[in-house]
Amino acid sequence: MIVQPLVLLFLIGNAFGQTSTIAELLGYDEDAKLLIMHADDLGVSHSVNQASVEAFEKNGISSGSIMVPCPWFSEIAEYAKSHPEFCWGLHLTLTSEWKYYKWDGVAPSSKISSLLNEQGVFYDKVIDVVANAKLDEVELEIRAQIDKALASGIPVSHLDSHMGTLFATPRLFSIYVRLGNEYKLPVMIPGDRIPPSWNIDSLLGPIQYPLDQLIMMGQMVPDWQSMYDAMVEKVKPGLNEIIVHLGYDDAEQQAIMMDHPSFGAEWRQKDLNYVLSKHFNDQLEMLGITLVSWKDVRNALLKSNSQ
């Protein structure tokens, strides 16, 4: 692990004049196994929106994040505004990876031209963003996405990054964390994956708490349940996050995600089936894992910081 628990303890102690772990700030024992069960890509399609809402309402997930530039943003924004009891992050988006289904930015195209390809939409791949993006235009677009979400009435809980684009270089990562601090929003930081040379301690403010562990399915496997069971079994004391990608394996989703089996329509239906299963809930109970949300984390950090 790159960011060790003792480092995180030190950060909280410095920020709040105490030495409480995040578990203790949330009201649990210091060695509690806390899990954020998180769904990405809300806003990308009607199917993803509806599957994610079903998972929220049936307690299959504890967090989700919304892609503001995407075509189905308005639908999920309206639902989020009406349901502040759920945890609504922003999946900050600088790529548009599907074959025929594309989007550009929230900021005016003339002001973010380095983020757009020859067709005037976001690049497919993170490597192309890194090669072409001007940092000031990245910041302008991220701000535009956050501001649009807030103006839409979404009770924003945290920030994270679509396709990990904002983890691609230290400079992109620095913009990401700095804006989280400015907007008083935790940013999802995979503490076990950030290179030591990035010196993230110097970037963090009192609203930030890196994950002890980030877990995500990386490829199609024959036995979905067994793979997720193994992932859940990896959850350890501290703050963990498992990322899922939800949707229905329907005509809309199949058309959007054609020729893209990774994170495609079948994948998303399998993820949904798992998080809604009784088996998943039984696993959590058997392993002594408690679901928490980024909203819980943010509220606890804000409260401690005000004392």
Q: Are 247 and 45 in contact (CB under 8 A)?
A: yes
Average pLDDT score over the chain: 93
8 pLDDT band, cuts 50/70/90, is very low
Q: Please give the pLDDT value at position 200.
A: 85
Dist CA 38 CA 85 (whole Å) = 15
- Position 108 pLDDT exceeds 90: yes
Q: Which amino acid is at 188?
A: M
- pLDDT band at residue 15 under the 50/70/90 scheme: very low
| 202: confidence class by pLDDT, cuts 50, 70, 90 | confident
Of all residues in the chain, what percent carry a pLDDT higher than 90?
Answer: 86
* CATH code 3.30.413.10 for 5-306: no
| Residues 222-259 pLDDT 10s | 999 999 999 999 999 999 999 999 999 999 999 999 99
For residue 202, the Cα-to-chain-centroid distance in whole angstroms is 22
What is the band of 17 on the pLDDT scale with cuts at 50, 70, 90? very low
Burial 67-99 (b: 16+ CB within 10 A, else e): bbbbebbebbbebbeeeeebbbbbbbbbbbbbe
Per DSSP, the three-state class of 37 is strand
* Three-state DSSP class for residue 143: helix
Give the pLDDT of residue 306: 82
Sign of CA dihedral 165, 291, 157, 195: negative
Q: Tell me what pLDDT residue 18 has.
A: 44
Predicted confidence at residue 124, as pLDDT, reads 97
pLDDT above 70 covers a percentage of the chain that reads 93
Q: Which phi and psi (to 5°) does residue 243 adopt?
A: -100, 130
Q: How far apart are CA 42 and CA 54, in angstroms?
A: 12
101 — phi, psi (to 5°)?
-110, 110
The predicted-structure confidence for 56-82, as pLDDT tens digits, reads as follows 999 999 999 999 999 999 999 999 999
Q: Check residue 67 and give its pLDDT.
A: 99
pLDDT at residue 49 tops 80: yes
Indicate whether 307 pLDDT > 90: no
pLDDT of residue 3: 31
- Give me the DSSP letters along 167-230: GSSHHHHHHHHHHHHHTT--B--BTTTS-GGG-GGGT--TT---BSEEEE--S--S-HHHHHHH
Structure confidence at residue 19 as a pLDDT band (50, 70, 90): low
Question: Does this model's pTM top 0.85?
Answer: yes
The rounded distance, in Å, linking the Cα atoms of 258 and 264 is 8
Domain boundary assignment for the chain: 5-306
Closest CA to 22 of 5, 39, 42, 46: 5
Place of tokens 């949330």: 26
Mean pLDDT of 104-126: 98
**In this predicted structure, what is the pLDDT of residue 5?**
31
Residue 105's Cβ-side half-sphere holds a number of Cα atoms within 13 Å equal to 29
Which residue stretches of the chain are H helix? Answer: 5-16, 22-25, 46-57, 73-82, 126-132, 135-151, 170-182, 224-233, 251-256, 265-275, 278-287, 294-306
Digit-coded pLDDT (tens) for 260-300? 989 999 999 999 999 999 999 999 999 999 999 999 999 99
* Res. 214: pLDDT tops 50: yes
